[in-house]
Structure 1
Amino acid sequence: MHRAAGWVLRGVRNPPKTRSRSGTARSPPRGLVYGQHGEPSAVVQLKDLEEAKLGGSDVHVKMLAAPINPADINVIQGTWRTRGVFPEEMLLKVPRDIPVLCAATLSVNPCTAFRMLSDFESLAPGDSIIQNAANSGVGQAVIQIAKASGIKTINVVRDRPDLPKLVETLMALGADHVITEEMLRKPEMKDLFKSIPKPRLALNCVGGKSTTEMLRHLQPKGTMVTYGGMAKQPVMVPVSAFIFRDVRLRGFWMTQWRKDHAQDPAALTSMMDSLCQLIRRGQLTAPACTEVPLQDYQAALEAAMKPFISSKQILLL
């Protein structure tokens, strides 16, 4: 499978020349490919690829950078490559004034954050949301997009040795409150809600106890959206949450949203335009990134799988 969702693309309409302007032969495109499922660092290999021939409406695209997202690690659902040819209708232009790292990380995490903040509850300035895995790429985008809309965020993270530094980082992005999973269970949460309304929306990327405790603080008739399961534990919901507070449980997957809106390109274009405007205004930045040369992909794959890593691995293609 090709993996286009997280790439920064620069396209040309004319067929590429086989030689550079200096007359030297151009090296073939390279890509990270796998022939069987397994641990990414063991099954993924960097290989030369055949350069596809251009059809009448095809575009030859050079890749500049690509993020390693959790979904890639979980299922190895695509390959990273330096160049490729795609039908023109599959592509969306990236404005030239968008920084490369922002563009590379634009189409997965910020889009997921944008859709979850827009599609499940009608949030207004002054409302609040609560999310776990707040230091993830999606979590950082949620903080910034919510801040730009005047929405308060309660951000839950796992306790860790560098917790003060992480809290400082998320607060600098615009977080209103940063708390640990353990704090969710403490009576002090009542004090927090003296200065901020209880959330109408909860965003869950963890599962297990973190989700159950986060759900306890949701407003009656509020919505919890699950988009990941990092703890690899089920979502446990007390019956009382349904009977007495009528909470709603939903799910979200950006890939499915794209499929559902395949015949509505204006929806994708509108979302991308909104996100690019936030980037231009300095209200949305790329998540913390570690830039890794393509040939060092094994180190990047291993780093992407480590716990307590807030930096997204970016392959420079």
Structure 2
Amino acid sequence: MASALTFAAHGEPEDVLQLQQDDASGAAPLGPKQVRLQLIAAPINPSDINTVQGKYPLKPLLPGVPGHEGVMRVEAAGAEVSTLRPGDRVVPLLPAVGTWRSSGVFEAEGWHAVPEGLPDDAAATLCINPPTAVCMLEHFVELKAGDVVVQNGATSAVGQV
């Protein structure tokens, strides 16, 4: 049985999130370009909380499932899916896909396989903070060999990356 945290209205998570059970999602046939995914891990980011509150710039259709990041395992792939195979661990390429669910059916083009050697916790948090850190270092200043970067307040995952 699949389950998901859902919200039908914006508000404080403890007031609006509900755990929903779905008996049919595991049996639904896949479209030719879809994959059935099983959750491995999904973090809770401030952006997730802000999405539920309605304060984040991206506003998924309601009712919705929160979760911008996570790592899932491909359980099955549609007939036309050539980039992902059952057993692959995948991360979302798009924001607000709703990773706070035990499983789901998604369009394969919205997911990317990650290397087997990458730990699950690193894969689950791969899509928001690491690209932000890379963007800051590559697009805001031209760094050269020997340059030093000083960062103040590196308590977030961006700072750690």
Deviations 1:136-161 (A, max 9, x none): 111111xxxxxxxxxxxxxxxxxxxx
* 1:30 aligned partner, one-letter code: S
What is the number of residues matched between the two proteins? 114
* 1:113 aligned partner, one-letter code: A
Alignment equivalent of 2:133, drawn from 97, 103, 113: 113
Aligned to 2:87: none
Tell me by how many angstroms 1:131 deviates: 3.7
Larger radius of gyration: 1
Q: Secondary structure at the match of 2:35?
A: strand
| Structure 2 stretches lacking a partner, 5+ long | 53-58, 60-65, 67-97
CA RMSD of aligned residues (A): 1.7
Partner Cα distance (2:102, 2:115) in 1: 20
Partner Cα distance (2:34, 2:144) in 1: 43
Partner Cα distance (1:131, 1:43) in 2: 37
Alignment equivalent of 2:45, drawn from 69, 89, 93: 69
Tell me by how many angstroms 1:125 deviates: 3.0
Q: Superposition pairs for residues 161-310 of structure 1, below 5 Å?
A: none
* TM-score normalised to structure 2 length: 0.64
Aligned to 1:92: 112
* 1:47 aligned partner, one-letter code: Q
* Deviating 4+ runs (over 6 angstroms): none
Change (3 A) 1:43 1:133: farther
Matched, 1:136 2:153: no
Aligned to 2:72: none
Q: Quote the sequence identity (%).
A: 45
Higher RCO by CA contacts (8 Å cutoff, separation 6 or greater): 2
Tell me by how many angstroms 1:91 deviates: 1.2
Alignment equivalent of 1:40, drawn from 9, 13, 24: 13
* TM-score normalised to structure 1 length: 0.34
Matched, 1:60 2:36: yes
Tell me by how many angstroms 1:74 deviates: 1.3
Tell me by how many angstroms 1:117 deviates: 1.1
Matched, 1:125 2:145: yes
Tell me by how many angstroms 1:132 deviates: 4.3
Change (3 A) 1:56 1:134: same
* 1:102 aligned partner, one-letter code: A
Change (3 A) 1:53 1:130: farther
Partner Cα distance (2:18, 2:152) in 1: 33
Partner Cα distance (2:147, 2:14) in 1: 43
Tell me by how many angstroms 1:75 deviates: 2.2
Q: Which has the larger helix fraction?
A: 1
Tell me by how many angstroms 1:122 deviates: 1.4
